[in-house]
Chains A and B, each alone.
Chain A
Amino acid sequence: MSTPQLPNLLDSLGTGRGRGRRRGRGRGGLGENHEDNQEKKDRVVQKTDEDASVSRMSAVEMGYLDDPFARAFIYDPPIPRRYPIINRGTYVRTAAIDTLVNKFLAADRGAQKQIISLGAGSDTRYFRIISKDPTVKLVYHELDFPTNVAQKISAIQHTPSLLAVIRSTLSTPSDLQITAHALTSPTYNIHPLDLRTLAIDPSTSAPPPLPTLPHLSTGAPTLLLSECCLIYLSPHDADSILATLATSLIPPSTPLALILYEPIRPHDPFGRVMISNLAARGIHLQTLQKYSSLSRQRARLRSAGFVDGQAAADVDFIWGRWVGEAEKERVAGLEMLDELEEWVLLARHYCVAWGWRDGVGEGGGLFGTAWEGVVGQEGNDEGEGID
């Protein structure tokens, strides 16, 4: 596959192009103010990655997670220690997504697979997967803002062990192309991309051209990940990004699945305090009201085209039901939780949701088989979602 470069997205970030709806605004005045504001807001969102990677590092240091790669993405040491309750939550979040991802990779093992991680930030999942099994047939794509991508690439360039992991998957070293702005290879790619450029209204008569993602496979069974990413986008953008991915970038005939990890239940006292505390930091959980419950998350997956299966579970449920007894004992033994009610409260406000479509022909039914037996949380919690 040739590797046409992305339109120069770095240049597009600050000025001119960018989100369609910004185009056409005059210079100066309202327009520029709006852009300044937008940039400020984007910077806050970009910084959330630091929270995630610091939490990951804290959980690794305390023995919750085994992740030798986490430290490479700590840009601002020393890392503050997180409370045990946060460490446990980080553990469940990572373990839950790992469970679904590993089952996907294990199903129909010889077949080529693809993972696209939206707002991947400093996530280390690719390195963890490959270091465990360098032979896995997988092409991995990470999408994030150019700023985040540049930072990640720089960290990779300075960390021989990370480079070694990537190289272990390549037949020729020259397959790996690294610039300050992007990393591409037949197996691992980090694309600088404001996801909102994918929020294309299909009804527009002349839709802007889609960005091309080097090494994107249109035929391999593909897993989309949104680990605390789409929640920061407007409901409209979040929905149309999924639509673009599920129809234009990956054709409907290809088996496709999505795993979401994000907060839920905004209407009870904990949820309300969460919203206002984060708002005080400039963080807005934009899709939270619309996708406020497990039921609504399942419905969301269905209407986004993941018609062959949808399930969801909150972190409290996952800790109780997915984590084996021995592992639970190990994790509970790492640090003493002083307040269990607080844990349950916190854990009920985050969920993992997953859904899939089978596509047609070969590879059909892959996700259904892979995730058979993964228990979702049944029942309608719509009431909790809408108060």
Chain B
Amino acid sequence: MSDLDKAIAQLRACRPIPEAQVRELCYKARELLIEEGNVVGVDAPVTICGDIHGQFHDLMELFRVGGDVPDTNYLFMGDFVDRGFYSLESFLLLLCLKVRYPDRITLIRGNHESRQITTVYGFYDECLRKYGSANVWRYCCDVFDYLALGALVTGASTKLEATGAGFAESYPQNSMPADDLDIEIEILNSNGDIMNRFPRSQPQAPSTPKPEPSSSPILGTPARTGPAGTGASGSSSGSLSNDGGAVLCVHGGLSPLIDTVDKIRLLDRKQEVPHEGAMCDLLWSDPDEIDGWGLSPRGAGFLFGADIVKHFNHKNDISLIARAHQLVMEGFKEMFDSTIVTVWSAPNYCYRCGNVAAILELGEDGSNGGYVARSNGDAGRKAEREPRGAPGRRYRVFEAAPQDSRGMPAKKPVADYFL
């Protein structure tokens, strides 16, 4: 067993690795990351994940639900650290996996992968507590500076391949679509049972109002945070290809300074996350029900409306933006006619919020004999273009892992309340 495999085994058991080994790991990771562009190209199939926030046991649950590395190709959209009790183990495990299987896992930067934020939100204190010095925190922060800012997933299919999954008990019997229907969205629970499905609306058919998908019957209560899940896209316009178009993944969202994916590629990313500017916006912004751009109440980044997303996607030949950054009680939330989705992968966030988590699987388009139409997000390559159907989306929804289930250290986390 190589040292790296040993480190992976140790971290999987939620035990930190020695400082010297962290140093070496971070060095290797940097060597690897420096070769990646600001926007990493990723081929489908891929499983896209949102915020983790040091919830190590829930990350293990995520791997159980989504499959292990390297069997499953993963893309993590940042915010590995802070808030949870095991930021260190979570981030180092992901980093080890990155070094061990560089083509099977992609890590991009979140707003918490920053020196300033980690000193306020826990990762710095955790490193100090676990190693007695800030060295490990410094090594990790150096790696943060090399993380890519985004990823572009290509070759995703509009069709969802059957998983052979059964139907969950909660599955609405009367709404089960016929098997030959083109399923656009499928929602599975953590056992892999289908909780809900949504067919793609037919090209010329008058748009029939779809049932509003509620992604998480397991929550047991009606969503209080707005419409759960999706208003599945009716934007398929009969393109014969199964190519679902490119999916842009960023942690936060868009920036008024960025109108093409190529402009992201031009940024100088190897620095601490700045307080403003394009790089800051990509990591901090949020979609919102507004027109155009708005000030963000977070104090960094911007709010952007449906018009901004639709224009950006059209201009860059992108069918979907996947982003993380915002807690959604149901684990995921599609907005703006499914042109953007928020994926949140930290269940019961901060051991307090009571939310479920989700990951998003995009299948591979095998229809061209495996040939992947490279859509690089180049602006204006094709002047007139049929808008593509969004890729088929399979969401796997899961709850927080029972804390004491796997013989791992399970210090009972104390969430703060107002007493």
Contact = CB atoms under 8 A, between A and B. Distances in A.
Contacts of B297: 332, 340
Interface string A240-274: 00000000000000000000000100011111111
Nearest to A89: B418
Interface stretch (B154-162, B170-178, B324-332): B324-332
Interface stretch (B5-13, B96-104, B136-144, B218-226): B218-226
A125 B300 CA distance: 35
Contacts of A29: none
A277 B352 contact: yes
A169 interface: no
A267 B354 CA distance: 11
Contacts of B412: 280
A83 B121 contact: yes
Interface in B379-419: 412, 414-419
B354 A52 contact: no
Given A338-B117, A338-B121, A278 B417 contact: yes
Nearest to B82: A338
Contact of B219 (A269, A277, A345): A269
Given A269-B221, A283-B419, A345-B353, A338 B112 contact: yes
Contact of A86 (B300, B349, B414, B416): B416
Contacts of B121: 83, 338
A340 B285 CA distance: 12
B50 to A, nearest CB: 12
Most buried by B among A55, A93, A332, A338: A338
Nearest to B326: A341
Contacts of B82: 338
A35 interface: no
Contacts of A342: 327, 349-350, 353
Interface in B119-163: 120-121
A48 B419 contact: yes
Contacts of B90: none
A332 B299 contact: yes
B235 interface: no
A340 B351 contact: no
Contacts of A263: 417-418
A25 B220 CA distance: 44
A347 B224 CA distance: 14
B298 A268 contact: no
A211 B353 CA distance: 43
A48 B416 CA distance: 12
A interface, how many residues as a size bin?
Answer: 35 or more
B252 to A, nearest CB: 11
A83 B112 CA distance: 14
Interface in B273-325: 297-300
Contacts of B202: none
Contact of A83 (B300, B326, B416): B416
A336 interface: yes
Contacts of B112: 338
Interface string A42-74: 000000100110010000000000000000000
A83 B351 CA distance: 14
Contacts of A90: 418
Nearest to A86: B416
B111 interface: yes
A228 interface: yes
Contacts of A270: 352-354
A316 interface: no
B198 to A, nearest CB: 24
Interface residues of B, number: 34
Interface in A214-231: 228
Contacts of B326: 339-341
A133 B121 CA distance: 38
B348 interface: yes
Contacts of B355: 269
A337 interface: yes
A277 B309 CA distance: 39
Nearest to A283: B419
A31 B220 CA distance: 41
A333 interface: yes
Interface string A136-154: 0000000000000000000
A281 B414 CA distance: 9
A167 interface: no
Max chain B CB contacts within 10 Å: which of A84, A345, A387? A345
Contacts of B328: 341
A340 B328 CA distance: 11
A332 B295 CA distance: 14
A19 interface: no
Nearest to B342: A341
Contact of B418 (A336, A337, A350): A350
A268 B117 CA distance: 30
B279 to A, nearest CB: 16
A336 B327 contact: no
A341 B225 contact: yes
A269 B329 contact: yes
Interface string B211-252: 000000001110011000000000000000000000000000
B418 A82 contact: no
Which residue, of A83, A273, A332, A337, has the highest number of chain B Cβ atoms within 10 A?
A273
A228 B418 CA distance: 8
Nearest to B348: A273
Interface string A84-108: 1010011001000000000000000
Given A268-B224, A269-B329, A270-B352, A335 B416 contact: no
A364 B109 CA distance: 62
A267 B418 contact: no
Contacts of B351: 273, 277
B419 A267 contact: no
Contacts of B300: 336
Contact of B354 (A51, A269, A337, A387): A269
B221 to A, nearest CB: 6
Nearest to B296: A340
A228 B419 CA distance: 6
A268 B416 contact: no
B400 to A, nearest CB: 9
Contacts of B417: 51, 263, 274, 277-278
A270 B221 CA distance: 11
Nearest to B328: A341
Nearest to B356: A269
20 contacts: A51-B417, A55-B419, A83-B121, A86-B416, A228-B419, A263-B417, A268-B221, A269-B221, A270-B352, A270-B354, A272-B354, A273-B353, A277-B417, A280-B412, A332-B299, A333-B299, A335-B120, A336-B300, A338-B121, A346-B352
Given A89-B418, A277-B352, A277-B414, 9 more contacts: A93-B418, A268-B221, A270-B352, A273-B348, A336-B300, A337-B298, A342-B350, A345-B327, A384-B224
Q: List the 9 closest pairs (A to B, CB-CB), nearest first.
A: A269-B354, A341-B327, A51-B419, A273-B354, A48-B419, A270-B354, A86-B416, A336-B299, A277-B415
Interface of B: 82, 111-112, 117, 120-121, 219-221, 224-225, 297-300, 326-329, 348-355, 412, 414-419
